[in-house]
Structure 1
Amino acid sequence: MKALQLGLASVALALPGPSQSISDSQGLFISHLENILGTSFDLKIIAHSYAVARQTEKTILSEIERLNAILSSYLPTGEFNRWWDSTEQAIPVSNDLWAVLNEFSIWQQKTNGTINAAAEAVNRLWKQAAEAQTLPTETERLAVVEAVNQPHWTLDPIHQTATRLSQTPLRLHTFAKSYILDRAAEVAMKHPEVDAVVLNIGGDLVIKGNWTETVAIANPKTDAENATPLAWLTAQNKAVATSGNYRRGVQVDNQWYSHIVDPRTGMPAQEVISATVIHSDATTAGALATAFNVLTPDESVKLAATFPGTDYLIVTKEGKSIASPDWNRSSTPPTANNSVKTAQILSLSSNKDKNWNQNQELIISFELSQFDGRYHRPFVGVWIEDENHVPVRQLAIWYNKPRWLPELRSWYAMQRNIGLDVASIASATRSAGSYSLVWDGKDDKGQFVKQGKYTINIEAAREHGTYQLIRQEMDFNGEPKNQTLNGSTEIATAALEYRDKGTK
């Protein structure tokens, strides 16, 4: 690439993917944002100039904001809530609100009632159960089921009006996110100097244009950003949607219950823990991914067969994977020559040292601070040092402009080499700013280190702005332990959990 090269980024160094070539007339712009539709937002734009890419980013964010003001149930003055305040009146609604309401009506029939905007009432019942730490009674559950499974609106396509029929709480999030992603990508692609875009909101992706995106499918058994993926795939002009129970839900009497519920029974979905769907239409991918968490795998396979061009990967709570017949057509393993190279590789193991217990891991969890009116994520570096402060393992380096990497002062002082291949991560939706990484006890060369004391470093910085470094020593001697770290400007909270693998 020539001087046209735009901002390049590495999302998590343990997740390299096959390279995507860029011509001399193109550049790759990458942006990371938080609290967009209540979650994280990763954006890639392949454009002819940096100015075009930045303007396209603004266009995308503007379209997301416009649609959110129409469809969100969290905005009291938004169009959805204004319509909801009406009672049995035929209210003229916008094209976007009418389209999403209509999609719900269509998909409720297609999925035998598993897609229902009134599922919000079931979610509220289980949130109340979590607060009281008491399971809902059968009477309460059946009452909610009755309230959910009734008509909630009628639509008049001739006059484009919607009439509210019930008092049952509604939310349009099942379709709203996919719908917004698709419309924002379409708006971006109207610019003649934009060749492709990749939008990833909380783990759901839309890829449009002349670009093949490498996607890592998150393993539902671990929440770490840099954990080994369940699968790899490549996609062009497709949507990739993932729904699962491993990031959001409620705890009642030491039992975890998914936020994905079955509107027909009033019970949380428990048999499937993750479903990823690939389709050319974002709404179809999003709807099927949600439905596949509620339906039995056999029912999901039959439903998918009615939508040509659908690929899927379903994971049950027992860990069984069910893939579509053509799944291998999209899936692709990472190649050896894409591995990330690092400097100062040092293996600390010797014959007389006691090595790291291979059945243990360190989970590093942290939450980035949220600021009104500020959406771009700071640069973040996370790495492990030995007792002599020699770096032994780099876990993540998140950035989008190489020229500003010196702002990560401690990380930059190590003069680490970085990989520039970036894979998107398809996963269940996370809360905005909440991340976790895993250290498996290996050094950058892939060898287990010896047991002993190591320092965890979490560094965050903005371009000529705020700066924060958290350093915490921990003794990895085989005895599980937890530690909470003090937060500050950019990193609000952080925690370390040294544990046996498989612990939740």
Structure 2
Amino acid sequence: MKFKHLTVAFLLVISASAFVNPEKTLRTFVSNYENVLGTSLELKFKTSSQADADLAEARALAEIDRLDDILSAYKKTSEFSKWMSNGKQTTKVSPELFEVLKQFENYKVLTHGALDASAKVIGEVWKKAAAENRLPSAEALRQAVALVKQKHYVLNAQDKTVTRLDDAPLALNSFAKSYIINKAAEKAAQSPGIENVVVNIGGDMVIKGNQPEAIGIANPKADAENDAALTTIKVSNMAVATSGNYRRGFKLNGKWYSHIVDPRTGKPASAIISATVIGPDASEAGALATSFNVLSVAEIKALTATRNDIAYLLITKDGKEIRSKEWGNYEVVLNTPATVVEKASKADKLWNTKYELVVNLEIANIESTDGKRVRRPFVAIWIEDAARIPVRNLAIWYNKPRWLPDLKSWNRANGDEFKKGAEGKLSSTSSATRGPGKYSLSWDGKDDSGKLVKAGIYTVFIEVAREHGTYQVIAQEMKFTGSAKKIELKPNTELTSASLDYRKIGTAKK
């Protein structure tokens, strides 16, 4: 009898095991958008199903929109803009606006005035002078600095009210984006089935989950999307923010000026051209990255002396790299293949290594008819020689492999090689914030194997395919023999502008 019961129990165990779900395979799902919080947005989710990734994405986007409606300094209908237009009176505000205004007060004290919401006062003085192609007067800057140093509002924590004390313009740009994407990443991470989340807004990012994310740190002196990273870090459950002068600013009398100003002096930041901060709090990482462009190295070291949870990398205007001792906890060493230079015959000359080709493009801002966000289109940029043989892939941007055939020309020329294992990298890049849809790619004259090509005539292809949109291809022949040349390409439905700039290395805008 006992044997009979044991047999039945054994059969039940066998039957139950047949219904146990096999372990699900985790994959990385990626989505890209333009014109989000004034820049580009990348979302990455580690999960086992497209449905789970789609739900997490929807939750993240909804949170970004909700907070943008509260904190935006550009939307006239935002809570912040309405509060700014209320004049000198006491106003009850949302918990989120109160929190950000409180953080500005805290970071102003922490950075000894290097971060200030009213720095916009000084920025407008420089903006007006730049529009008139002149430097601002010493008196105008003195008055602006004096206004910045005043107290502009009073917070009442008990009833969550704010009282304006003057009409000085304020801006929440320094770390508000980091604050927003942290909240968005939290919403996504709480979604079912999500193991890891990366939210990257214009180069500042939040990583939620225990899986380390590989992040390249952009070289401020080599600003193309496909330029080699200055270094690479791996982080998990942290925030990374980079601020610098190399993507936004203006030129006066042949000199480049940063958009980041020192609220204490009225002068644009200049000694440090890029600052990357790793920290547990996204708002603080964003605030410190901005202020580190303003503070001296000695001030930065003093500020972080007791903070073993903060790591930073500073790049000075002369190219010096300054790392905090904590930075080594995250930095990884990658093997970089050496350039292969083959001997050319007397009749053939190799690419002039003093020159580079920069491909500039701006993706059009396409608005959806149903009010939903429009994803960034799929883009492929590559080079073919005179025999129409592909020699170098500069970029291939897509979100699902099954959509690659939509890039018809690229797929015909490069698809087979790509499928053999030459997939594009999934790591992210931390950099100074770029304008929405604006990208630059560089070609150093090497083919995909790292060999210098021969000087001569090549064709540059820019192919754009938008889901539920149009399909565009630009093919431009160009001669590369050591004589600088720039070609403006004809815009189309998907590209607001595009150009090819064959130039000496080091002749960028700064």
Partner residue, 2:410: 411
Query: Which residue number corresponds to residue 75 of structure 1?
Result: 75
Task: Give distance in 1, aligned partners of 2:70 and 2:468.
Answer: 36
> Shift of the alpha carbon at 1:121?
1.2
1:125 corresponds to which residue? 125
Shift of 1:420: 4.7
Partner SS for 1:293: coil
- Which residue matches 1:368? 363
Asked if residue 423 in structure 1 is aligned to residue 427 in structure 2, the reply is yes
Cα separation, 1, equivalents of 2:148 and 2:333: 43
1:405-484 correspondence runs (5 A): 405-414=404-413, 415=415, 416-417=417-418, 418-484=422-488
**TM-score of the superposed pair, with normalisation by structure 2:** 0.91
Quote the Cα distance in structure 1 between the aligned partners of 2:306 and 2:131.
Answer: 41
- 1:155/1:464 CA distance change after superposition, 3 Å: closer
Indicate the percent of aligned positions where both proteins have the same amino acid.
48
Alignment-derived partner of residue 108 in structure 1: 108
SS at match of 2:195: strand
- Distance, in Å, in 1 between the alignment partners of 2:409 and 2:81 is 48
97 and 319 in structure 1: CA distance in 2 versus 1, 3 angstrom threshold: same
* Shift of residue 308, structure 1, vs aligned partner: 2.8
Give the whole-Å Cα distance in 2 for the aligned partners of 1:238 and 1:442.
36
Tell whether 2:226 aligns with 1:226: yes
- Count of paired positions: 474
Cα contact 2:246–2:432 (8 A) shared by 1: yes
TM-superposed CA distance for 1:326, in Å, is 2.5
Partner of 2:263: 263
Displacement after TM superposition at 1:192 (Å): 3.3
Q: Deviations over 1:107-159 (max 9, x none)?
A: 10110001100111111111111110010001111011111111011000001
The CA distance in 2 between the partners of 1:357 and 1:335, in whole Å, is 25
Residue identity in the other structure for 1:351: S
Q: Deviations over 1:299-348 (max 9, x none)?
A: 11211224331111000001111001122221113357xx9xxxxxx999
> What secondary structure is seen at the aligned counterpart in 2 of 1:403?
helix
From 347, 351, 359, the counterpart of 2:345: 351
* Matching residue's letter, 1:355: L
Q: Cα 1:153–1:24, aligned 2, differ >3 Å: closer, same or farther?
A: same
Partner of 1:30: 30
Please tell me whether the aligned partners of residues 60 and 184 of structure 1 are also in contact (alpha carbons under 8 angstroms).
yes
Q: Distance in 1 between matches of 2:499 and 2:156?
A: 53
Alignment partners' CA distance in 1, 2:314 and 2:394: 28
> What aligned pairs does 1:191-340 form with structure 2 within 5 A after superposition?
191-335=191-335
2:167 maps to 1:163: no
Letter in 1 for 2:391: V
Cα distance, 1:463 vs structure 2: 2.9
The residue number in structure 1 matching 2:393 is 394
SS where residue 326 of structure 1 aligns?
Answer: helix
* CA deviation map 1:330-382 (0-9, x unaligned): 1113357xx9xxxxxx9997333111111211111100000224431000000
Q: Is the 1:244–1:293 contact (alpha carbons within 8 Å) kept by the matching residues of 2?
A: yes
* Cα distance, 1:334–1:422 mapped onto 2, change above 3 Å: farther
Matched residues in 1 for 2:133 and 2:56: separation? 47
- Where do residues 487-498 of structure 1 align in structure 2 (5 Å cutoff)? 487-498=491-502
For 2:48 and 2:442, how far apart are their aligned partners in 1? 37
Between 1:461-470 and 1:221-230, the stretch displaced more is 461-470
Deviation string for 1:7-35 (max 9, x for gaps)? xxxxxxxxxxxxxxxx8442321001100
CA positional deviation for 1:91: 0.9
SS in 2 for 1:126: helix
- Deviation, 1:48, is 3.3
Counterpart of 2:383? Answer: 384
**Cα distance in structure 1, aligned partners of 2:303 and 2:269:** 17
Summarize deviations over 1:374-406 as a string: whole Å, max 9, x none: 431000000001111111111110001111111
When structure 1 is superposed on structure 2, of 296-305 and 51-60 the one drifting more is 296-305
The structure having more radius of gyration, on CA atoms, is 2
Specify the SS of the correspondent of 1:145. Answer: helix
Aligned to 2:9: none
Shift in Å, 1:88: 2.8
Q: Any conservation in 1 of the 2:308–2:326 contact (CA below 8 Å)?
A: no
Structure 1 residue 446 displacement after superposition: 0.6
Listed one character per residue, the Cα deviations across residues 282-309 of structure 1 (whole Å, up to 9, x for unaligned) are 1111111111100111211211224331
| CA distance in 1: counterparts of 2:61 and 2:306, whole angstroms | 34
Instruction: Give the distance between the partners of 1:486 and 1:277, measured in 2 at CA.
Output: 40
SS at match of 1:294: coil
Q: What amino acid sits opposite 2:123 in the alignment?
A: N
Could you tell me which amino acid in structure 2 is paired with residue 478 of structure 1?
G
Contact 2:378/2:466 (<8 A) preserved: yes
Does structure 1 conserve the Cα–Cα contact (< 8 Å) formed by 2:52 and 2:192? no
- Equivalence for 2:89: 89
Aligned partner of residue 180 in structure 2, secondary structure: helix
The amino acid of 2:362's aligned partner reads: E
When normalised by structure 1's length, the TM-score is 0.92
Name the structure 2 match of 1:3: none
Structure 1 gap ranges (5+): 1-22, 340-345
Q: Which amino acid aligns with 1:406?
A: P
